[in-house]
């Protein structure tokens, strides 16, 4: 009798724990789902974008590595180029309140307007929940997700881990490579790299 009660409880427990065990994002595996509030007030659910390519861009406006991409206009170019081809581009702000890169919704909207940035949405993640879900280490760390919801790239934006604007033109951009190769039906040759940049300013 006792056993018959215990088993369902154990199974339920295992089922509860299972998502925790497989939570962190990994190349080749399903992208963990999340729901977030965008700076424009909309609610964005990752899994609502199944069927489309999705780019996640970790952002911190005070980080010089991010500055290199935005002050050169490179990040905005990428955002415009890929969203024009139907890619969903989500900028994610995981800085905790009081830390470098933390912004309110209206501050982020001002930044996007001032920099002529063109992400699909900028997601506010002050608790670092999405950042930790993807084990994001740096800004600008980049993740590419395919229409089946599988992570096909996780890492650096390019192969020049510097803050020098002059390094942008000659760099090999890994996000471009992943999207181009995947869209052409090819295997992504470089699916993971060290995501160089500033550490993500989590609360702890």
Partner 1 sequence: MRRRNSKPAAIALGLASLLCAANAGATEAPIPHGTIEIIAQNESIEPGRDFNLGLHFQLEKGWHIYWANPGDSGEPPRVEWNIPTGVTAEEIEWPTPHRLGTSAIVDYGYEDAVTLIVPMRTETILAAQQTAQIGAQVKVLVCREMCIPGKAEVSLTLPIKSQTAAPDSKTAALFAAARKSLPQHAPKNWKFSVDDTISSFVLTGNLGHQTTRAIFFPLNESQIDNAAPQDFAPTAAGFRLTLRKSEQLLKPIARLKGVLRLSDDRAYWIEVPVSKPGAGQSNSGANVRPKHLLEEGKTT
Residue 59 touching partner 1 (CB under 8 A): no
Residue 133 touching partner 1 (CB under 8 A): no
Find the binding residues for partner 1 in span 12-41 (CB under 8 A). Answer: 26-27
Binding track, positions 72-111, relative to partner 1; x by CB under 8 A: ---------------------------xx-----------
Closest approach, Cβ 64 to partner 1, in A, equals 5
Q: Which is nearer to partner 1, 120 or 125 (CB)?
A: 125
φ, ψ dihedrals at 122, nearest 5°: -110, 120
Distance CA(129)–CA(99), nearest Å, equals 16
Cα–Cα separations (whole angstroms), residue 172 to 16, 20, 127, 188, 199: 42, 35, 32, 14, 22
Binding site for partner 1 (CB under 8 A): 26-27, 62-65, 99-100, 132, 135, 137-138, 154-155, 159, 161-164, 166, 170, 191-194, 196-202, 204
């Amino acid at each position: 009798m006792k056993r018959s009660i215990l088993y369902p409880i154990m199974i339920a427990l295992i089922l509860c724990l299972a998502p925790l065990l497989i939570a962190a994002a990994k190349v080749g595996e399903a992208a963990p789902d999340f729901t977030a509030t965008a700076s424009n007030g909309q609610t964005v659910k990752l899994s609502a974008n199944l069927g489309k390519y999705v780019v996640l861009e970790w952002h911190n406006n005070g980080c010089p590595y991010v500055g290199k991409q935005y002050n050169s206009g490179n990040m905005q170019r990428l955002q415009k180029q890929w969203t024009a081809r139907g890619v969903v581009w989500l900028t994610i702000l995981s800085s905790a309140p009081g830390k470098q890169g933390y912004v309110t919704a209206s501050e982020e909207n001002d930044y996007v307007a001032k920099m002529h940035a063109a992400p699909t949405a900028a997601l506010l993640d002050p608790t670092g929940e999405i950042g930790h879900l993807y084990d994001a280490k740096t800004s600008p760390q980049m993740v590419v997700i395919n229409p089946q919801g599988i992570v096909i790239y996780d890492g650096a934006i390019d192969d020049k881990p510097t803050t020098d604007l002059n390094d942008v033109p000659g760099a090999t951009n890994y996000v471009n490579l992943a999207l181009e190769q995947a869209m052409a039906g090819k295997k992504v040759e470089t699916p993971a790299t060290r995501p160089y940049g500033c550490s993500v300013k989590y609360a702890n």
